[in-house]
Chains A and B, each alone.
Chain A
Amino acid sequence: MKVTVDEDKCCGAGSCVLAAPDVFDQRDEDGVVVLLDAEPAEHLHAAVREAAGVCPASAIALGEGA
């Protein structure tokens, strides 16, 4: 699984951090998403899919057999 984020779209909701704290964080200054792990391990995939699904700005994209 390959995760990418579009910082421009991110509204700083932090839903992704609540869903998958091992993979997403937010910048201190403006709350924009920080991708901690662009190729998360298998056991995190479900949480990452959920995070992408609940992101209110569709700022998270999943690739490669996501």
Chain B
Amino acid sequence: MTAAPDVLVVGASAAGLATAEALRRKGHTGGLTLLGDEPHPPYDRPPLSKQVLAGTWQPERARLRTPELLDGLGATFVLGDPAVSLDPVARTVRTASGTVLRADVVVLATGVRPRVLPDQAGLAGVHVLRTLDDAAALRAALLTGGRLVVVGDGVLGAEVAATACGLGLDVTLAGPQRAPLEARLGSLVSGVLADLHRERGVRLRLGAAVAGLAGRDGRVTGVRLDTGEVLPADVVVVALGAIPNTGWLAGSGLRLDDGVVCDARCRAADGIYAAGDVARWHHEGLGGLLRLENRTNATEQAVAVADDILGAGRPYAPVPYFWTDQFDARVQVHGVLAPGASVSVVDGDVAVRRFVALYERDGEAVGVLGWNMPRQARALRQRLLGQLRDFAGSHVEPGKVEEAGFRRAPRSRTDFSEGQR
């Protein structure tokens, strides 16, 4: 590789932009191109289910950088033109418009897209929430009022339910768990979350799987549960998780398996990297493949990729971290809240909804959760989750970690205790 390689980043959002910025910050002088399928300059997604959907922020506020800062990057932005194929050997990317972009290094940062219900296509009133355009369409629908049913009791579904409830809608949250986010947070904390939603007026119709949608004259009228029950709805939000955007890489020869499969340094092949929601890489600390869907991972994995491109790489082995805001609850999750972990409240008080919970397995700290105590939770994470210490975070699916065979690997401590500071 030459001293200053040309870098092409596919996907011009959180991870793509962070890769470009980290490269420049660390002295990259070569060519830099960001290719994105959306027409918008890079914007942030977490506010879409919160401030932007609530209307407290104009959509422009979600922009990640000012036009001046983007100009200052010295990068070429090719927007509104999806990549359709990659030749990893020639390192060329072809776009829908027929353009062929060539580079020495290609970074794949194409994120994920919402999973949908099979009968959702063509039914008016049914929404997903991933993009700025999705948020605008959903907000317009919510402003007409009526009954909203949110399908999916995970993070996104619970956030949308909370925001819509704040807008005065009649909201029902439907999903198979006993409480929202139960699989992720365990029964103690998800129980507190369920209480919060109920108190604020969200109807919880949990413990039943969603079988499909009901509609009339091309418009949704309700959500069918597998119990046979139909929840009446004027607007439906489907929040059933997401699928990596790797369709355009079929035929590239890269290993695609629930994301772009990468080594510990986020390399999918020689000169090809992946970062953000689309990347499934080998986490040395956790001892297996992991794909994280969260905001901090997008940025921190991008920094790791930039470091490796510039020759100062190290295995990327973050402490998983994500946060969620629902009503007045600001919840921070560090580490892995493994199912079956024992949970104890170590600071604050659940009764006043301000506490820090410690998750332990086999007597070892595996996760820290803060409920309206972000600073205290972060401090505890620094004290107790040292082995996995690094920046990054995660929406780890506990199942995925199990699959990857979660285990401690103290040996790798030295590998990532330096580097990012």
Contacts and interface: CB of A to CB of B under 8 A. Distances in A.
A47 B64 CA distance: 20
Report, nearest first, the 3 A-B pairs whose CB atoms are least far apart: A31-B374, A12-B374, A14-B378
Nearest to B330: A12
Contacts of B325: 11
Contacts of B296: 13, 15, 54, 56
B21 A53 contact: yes
Q: In this complex, which of B44, B65, B375 has the most chain A Cβ atoms within 10 angstroms of its Cβ?
A: B375
B420 A19 contact: yes
Nearest to A25: B375
Interface string B363-376: 00000001011111
A30 interface: yes
Contacts of B21: 53
A48 B393 CA distance: 19
A21 to B, nearest CB: 9
Contact of A19 (B370, B375, B391): B391
B114 to A, nearest CB: 21
A66 to B, nearest CB: 10
A14 B334 CA distance: 11
Contact of A11 (B298, B323, B373): B323
B277 interface: no
Given A26-B375, A54-B299, A13 B321 contact: yes
A25 B375 CA distance: 8
A58 B323 contact: no
Q: In this complex, which of A28, A31, A53, A56 has the most chain B Cβ atoms within 10 angstroms of its Cβ?
A: A56
Interface in B17-33: 18, 21-22, 25
B46 interface: yes
Contact of B373 (A15, A19, A25, A31): A31
B378 A31 contact: yes
Contacts of B18: 53-54
A55 B321 CA distance: 13
Given A11-B325, A13-B332, A30-B330, A56 B22 contact: no
Contacts of A31: 330, 332, 370, 373-375, 378
B378 A17 contact: yes
Given A13-B295, A15-B391, A50-B420, 20 more contacts: A11-B325, A12-B323, A12-B374, A13-B321, A13-B374, A18-B382, A19-B421, A26-B375, A30-B372, A30-B374, A31-B374, A31-B375, A50-B421, A53-B21, A54-B299, A54-B300, A55-B299, A56-B14, A56-B295, A58-B65
A56 B330 contact: no
Interface residues of A, number: 23
A24 to B, nearest CB: 11
Contacts of B330: 11-12, 30-31
B323 A13 contact: yes
Interface string A1-28: 0000000000111110111000001111
Interface in B342-388: 370, 372-376, 378, 382
B303 interface: yes
A58 B64 contact: yes
Interface in B35-89: 44, 46, 64-65
A65 to B, nearest CB: 12
Contacts of B299: 15, 53-56
B25 A56 contact: no
5 contacts: A14-B375, A30-B330, A30-B372, A50-B25, A54-B391
A15 to B, nearest CB: 5
Contacts of A57: 44, 46
Given A11-B46, A13-B332, A28 B375 contact: yes
Nearest to A12: B374
Interface string B307-343: 0000000000000010101000010100000000000
